[in-house]
Amino acid sequence: AQKVTQAQTEISVVEKEDVTLDCVYETRDTTYYLFWYKQPPSGELVFLIRRNSFDEQNEISGRYSWNFQKSTSSFNFTITASQVVDSAVYFCALSDPGGSEKLVFGKGTKLTVNP
């Protein structure tokens, strides 16, 4: 069965600190996609990134970076020089086997960035 584990329930940092959010997944499929979403206090989930299982290159977008390692089944997310606006709940998700439409979500990590 598919599963996504975000072991960190809550993280609190001070502004300008770097922070890494962990995501570990389980799947028997060889073709799959991984995602990160951000849910700010307003409630709407915002899509951040999609990564397919054949592309293990790390990705950087501004202060955000993602590290995908198939050997450890992990897809970790790092925010560099965190800001108060980064405060949100972050979800990692995995696509269902066979490329179907369903996503399996982790339970989320609540990040609080204090000024």
Instruction: List residues binding other proteins (CB under 8 A).
Output: 33, 35, 37, 42-47, 50, 91, 95, 99, 101-103, 105-108
Q: Taking the complex as a whole, how short is the minimal distance between the CB of residue 110 and other proteins, in angstroms?
A: 10
Do 15 and 83 touch, CB atoms closer than 8 A? yes
Q: Taking the complex as a whole, how short is the minimal distance between the CB of residue 3 and other proteins, in angstroms?
A: 11
Do 4 and 106 touch, CB atoms closer than 8 A? yes
Query: Which pairing describes strands 24-26 and 46-52: parallel, antiparallel, or unpaired?
Result: unpaired
Among residues 61 and 115, whose Cβ is nearest to other proteins?
61
Among residues 30 and 115, whose Cβ is nearest to other proteins?
30
Q: Taking the complex as a whole, how short is the minimal distance between the CB of residue 44 and other proteins, in angstroms?
A: 5
Among residues 70 and 102, whose Cβ is nearest to other proteins?
102
**Distance, CA of 115 to CA of 112 (rounded, Å):** 10
Residue 31, classed as helix, strand or coil, is coil
Q: Taking the complex as a whole, how short is the minimal distance between the CB of residue 95 and other proteins, in angstroms?
A: 5
